[in-house]
Structures are given as C-alpha cells and as structure tokens.
C-alpha cells in the first residue's frame, strides 16, 4: 500500500496536477455561457474527466519524450521521469491510458466531441516536438489549453460558436504569454541544448516585450468575447481584473526574476478562478 501511495505521489509530481487550475475554469466558463446557466451534473463530471485525462496525456507524453532534455537541466533533473522513480514503460502506459480515457469520455459527451477527440490529442501532444525545431512551441502550448473553451461549448451545444473561438484565442495568448516568462528560467539551458524557444532566440528583453504583446492580445480577445457573446457587466469586470492581474505579473517579473514562480503559479491560477466566479455572477444577476 505504501508503495502504491508513493507511486501516486510520483505521478502527481510528474504531471503537476495542481496546474490543472489553468485550464479547468475556462472549460466551465464556456459551458456556462453556452448553456446560459447551469449545464447539469452529467456534463460537469464529463467536463472534469475530459480536462484531466487530456492534461494527463499531454504532460505524460511531454515527460516521456523529454527524459533526455530534463536530465541535462538542473531545474528538472529531480523529476520522476529522470531520477528513475517512474520508468519509461510506466509513463507510456499512463499516457496511453489517459488518451483512451479522453476518447471514451468524448464518446459519452456527443458525436462532435468524439470526432474531435483524436485531433485534439494530436494538437496537445505536438508541443513536445515543436520546441525541438521551432520557437512557436509557446503558441502551441497556448493553443493546447486554448482548446478548452471550444471543447466546453462542443460539450453543451455540439457546435463551435464564434465567441468560443474568441475566448479560446485569448486563452492561447494568455498561456503563451506566461509560458514565455516561465521559460526565462531555462534560457541558458535551451541555448546549450539547441532547443528552440523565444527567450533563447530573441533574448530576455525582447521576450518580455513579446509576452506583454501576447497579454495585451489576451485582453483584446476576451473583450471581443464579452461583446460577441452579449455578456453582462460582470464579464467586462472579469476582463478588466484580468488585465490588472497580468500587469502585476509583468511588474513582478520585471522587478525580480527570482519571483517568476510566484507570478506564474499564483497570479495565473487566481486569474482563471476570478474570471470563472465573475462569469457565474453574470449569470446569477443578469
């Protein structure tokens, strides 16, 4: 039993389960807007399962492919995929099981969700390859999480709405923007290993400007989402609060690089939650 508990802890560390907080709120934001309120317990459960299996697949696949890279990076050398706590076979089985789980969940959602399941897995798995030959990998990572709102709308209405695309593009630039800041920690390692990232290609100052541009685009597309979806006052407040939080994030990183983790985890984690709560308020008080 103790070995099993330890294995669960190791897998939790492998996929960094707590990072699910970045994608979950925007799935349910889209579902709430699409359903114009509560969408039912069945879709709640299926939505959570879809989000978790998709993310576990993406992280497991990434860790499986990146064993050689992580072993050469001082920041990642103690990860379970490197230090032997989880074997390559275990990672492969974990990744494969979550891919099947995601497809199975999609089957129980609706036909369109099932048709899109494999293409979505291909997109979210491609990040691991892109960073080996293109600095656009940051946008691929953003797109992977940006698909969450579209998936939420598909689950509720079995269609893809224009406002969900706008919301998703905003999420894509949001994630890509904070991934750029997070990647500043690995700029020297990326150069040494020949990995393609915006920080290693353009340097620190340009990377921070690009991140600011990405986050400005985030706010713009979320404003467009609020307008096109005919949302109420609280959603516009959510966009304004998000803009303030992103500004604070850049202020923290500009002032002290050692606080990148704080900006990455704390601020971005709360941003999604605050946005979700305000969307719920918009439905209640509309």
- Extents of the domains making up the chain: 2-285
CATH of 2-285 among 3.40.1160.10, 3.40.50.11540, 1.10.357.140, 2.170.120.12: 1.10.357.140
65-104 pLDDT, tens per residue? Answer: 878 787 777 777 777 777 778 788 888 899 999 999 999 9
Q: How many CB atoms lie within 10 A of CB 5?
A: 9
How many residues can be counted in the chain?
Answer: 286
Three-class SS of residue 38? coil
Q: Kindly report the pTM of this predicted structure.
A: 0.91
Three-class SS of residue 61? helix
150-181 pLDDT, tens per residue? Answer: 999 999 999 999 999 999 999 999 999 988 88
Token pair belonging to 6: 């330890």
260-285 pLDDT, tens per residue? Answer: 666 666 788 889 999 999 999 999 88
Half-sphere exposure in the Cβ direction for 6 (13 Å, CA)? 6
In sequence order, the 6+-apart residues with CB closer than 8 A to the CB of 19 are: 55
Q: How many CB atoms lie within 10 A of CB 38?
A: 12
């Amino acid at each position: 039993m103790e070995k099993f508990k330890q294995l669960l802890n190791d897998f939790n560390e492998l996929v960094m389960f707590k990072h699910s907080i970045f994608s979950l709120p925007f799935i349910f934001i889209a579902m709430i807007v699409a359903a114009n309120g509560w969408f039912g317990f069945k879709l709640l459960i299926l939505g959570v399962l879809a989000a978790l299996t998709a993310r576990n697949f993406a992280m497991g696949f990434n860790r499986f492919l990146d064993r050689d890279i992580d072993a050469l990076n001082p920041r990642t050398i103690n990860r379970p995929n490197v230090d032997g706590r989880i074997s390559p076979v275990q990672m492969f089985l974990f990744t494969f099981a979550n891919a099947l789980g995601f497809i199975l969940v999609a089957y129980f959602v609706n036909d369109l969700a099932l048709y899109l399941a494999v293409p979505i897995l291909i997109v979210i798995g491609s990040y691991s390859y892109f960073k080996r030959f293109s600095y656009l990998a940051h946008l691929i990572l953003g797109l992977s999480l940006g698909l969450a709102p579209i998936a939420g709308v598909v689950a509720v209405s079995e269609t893809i709405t224009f406002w969900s695309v706008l919301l998703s593009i905003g999420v894509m630039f949001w994630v890509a923007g904070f991934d750029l800041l997070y990647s500043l920690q690995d700029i020297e390692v990326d150069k040494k290993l020949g990995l393609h990232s915006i920080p290693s290609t353009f340097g620190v100052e340009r990377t921070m400007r690009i991140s600011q541009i990405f986050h400005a685009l985030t706010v713009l597309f979320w404003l467009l989402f609020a307008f096109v979806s005919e949302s109420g006052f609280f959603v516009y407040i959510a966009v304004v609060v998000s803009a303030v939080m992103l500004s604070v994030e850049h202020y923290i990183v500009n002032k002290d690089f050692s606080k990148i983790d704080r900006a990455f985890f704390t601020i971005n984690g709360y941003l999604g939650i605050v946005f979700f709560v305000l969307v719920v308020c918009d439905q209640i008080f509309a």
